[in-house]
């Protein structure tokens, strides 16, 4: 439930991915930044296409990696991260994440995922030693980036029923599980229920106005809405092999819902 009381001043990073500055996603990014700043928050925006962000991990990300040495990405990224020797653009984005109290990913859903340029931002920025790693707190619990919130704001060409429990695309929570659970929660960030704009290929003015009003409500609850209650890795629900212990789930629960705590109630949040 969104709290109507004023929120303390917070810092928000919006990472946006769309190739056209006239797009719906660019408009939603600008709206979110304006709305949050009007509420007294600080906002930084990483517009990945405008930045011409490189989407591929390679040896250039680790400038001091020996040219004659095989590139083991996890090991190389951890050495470069801990030594402060990452490519400058990666280090700059990591500083933005560390600066933030919340991260918003704004993107069009392409092939049931983020655009390649945003996947490249994730791959390059969440290095070992920064987003995860043996020297950091365990994943799916405290996590390296604990204390931050995360919100997915996605546009989709399909109607909302296609992403429902019996929809042909599957529930939106399942489609976004790699982001919500595998990125945010893995790194310790608390993901909120995603915000979606459906039937987005053709959005007349009145529906865009309604989408902005719905998005404003979600932005107002960025630090007060209850996050998705994913189970922590540490705490007794999983065994040493990271498998959920038998019998801890509610009757009839299957699939990815197994990893959501059944004893935590979250107020339903409209997505559009």
pLDDT tens, position by position, 14-48? 999 999 999 999 999 999 999 999 999 999 999 99
Outline where DSSP puts E strands in the chain: 11-16, 42-47, 102-108, 149-155, 190-191, 195-197
Nearest to 225 by CA among 191, 262, 259, 196: 191
Going from the C-alpha of 168 to that of each of 100, 158, 215, 253, the distances in angstroms are: 36, 10, 25, 20
Count the neighbouring beta carbons within 10 Å of the beta carbon of residue 268.
Answer: 8
29 neighbors 45 (Cβ within 8 angstroms):
yes
105 neighbors 44 (Cβ within 8 angstroms):
no
167 neighbors 118 (Cβ within 8 angstroms):
no
CA gap 137, 176 in Å, rounded: 24
CA gap 135, 128 in Å, rounded: 9
pLDDT tens, position by position, 142-190? 888 999 999 999 999 999 999 988 999 999 999 999 999 999 999 999 9
Q: What DSSP state is assigned to residue 93?
A: H
- What per-residue confidence (pLDDT) applies to 272? 44
- What per-residue confidence (pLDDT) applies to 249? 86
Q: 12 pairs with which residues across the strands?
A: 43, 102
- What per-residue confidence (pLDDT) applies to 6? 62
**The CATH number, out of the four listed (3.40.50.300, 3.20.20.20, 3.40.50.360, 3.40.50.2000), of the domain defined by the range 11-229:** 3.40.50.360
- What per-residue confidence (pLDDT) applies to 1? 46
pLDDT greater than 60 at residue 110: yes
Going from the C-alpha of 170 to that of each of 127, 182, 207, 226, 254, the distances in angstroms are: 30, 18, 24, 23, 14
pLDDT tens, position by position, 123-145? 999 999 999 998 888 899 888 89
Going from the C-alpha of 135 to that of each of 139, 144, 232, the distances in angstroms are: 11, 10, 18
pLDDT band at 5 (very low <50, low <70, confident <90, very high): low
- What per-residue confidence (pLDDT) applies to 262? 83
Report domain extents, the chain. Answer: 11-229
pLDDT band at 52 (very low <50, low <70, confident <90, very high): very high
CA gap 256, 220 in Å, rounded: 28
Question: Which ranges of the chain does DSSP label H, i.e. alpha helix?
Answer: 24-38, 48-51, 73-83, 88-99, 116-125, 172-175, 177-179, 205-220
């Amino acid at each position: 439930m969104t709290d109507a009381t004023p929120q303390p001043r917070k810092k928000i990073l919006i990472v946006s991915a769309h190739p056209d500055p006239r797009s719906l996603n660019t408009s939603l990014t600008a709206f979110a930044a304006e709305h949050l700043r009007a509420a007294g928050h600080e906002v930084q925006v990483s517009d990945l296409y405008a930045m011409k962000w490189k989407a591929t991990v390679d040896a250039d990300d680790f400038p001091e990696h020996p040219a004659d040495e095989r590139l083991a990405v996890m090991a190389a990224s951890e050495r470069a991260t801990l030594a402060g020797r990452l490519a400058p653009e990666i280090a700059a984005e990591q500083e933005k994440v560390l600066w933030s109290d919340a991260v918003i990913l704004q993107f069009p859903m392409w092939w049931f995922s983020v655009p390649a340029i945003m996947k490249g931002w994730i791959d390059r920025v969440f290095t070992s030693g920064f987003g995860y790693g043996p020297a950091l707190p365990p994943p799916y619990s405290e996590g390296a980036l604990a204390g931050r919130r995360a919100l997915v704001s996605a546009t989709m060409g399909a109607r909302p029923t296609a992403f429902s429990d019996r929809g042909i695309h599957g529930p939106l929570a399942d489609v976004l599980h790699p982001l919500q659970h595998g990125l945010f929660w893995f790194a310790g960030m608390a993901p909120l229920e995603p915000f979606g704009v459906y039937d987005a290929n053709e959005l007349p003015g009145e529906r865009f106005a309604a989408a902005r009003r719905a998005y404003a409500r979600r932005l107002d609850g960025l630090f007060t809405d209850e996050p998705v209650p994913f189970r922590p890795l540490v705490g007794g629900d999983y065994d040493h092999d990271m498998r959920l212990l038998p019998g801890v789930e509610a009757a009839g629960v299957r699939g990815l819902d197994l990893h959501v705590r059944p004893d935590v109630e979250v107020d339903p949040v409209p997505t559009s």
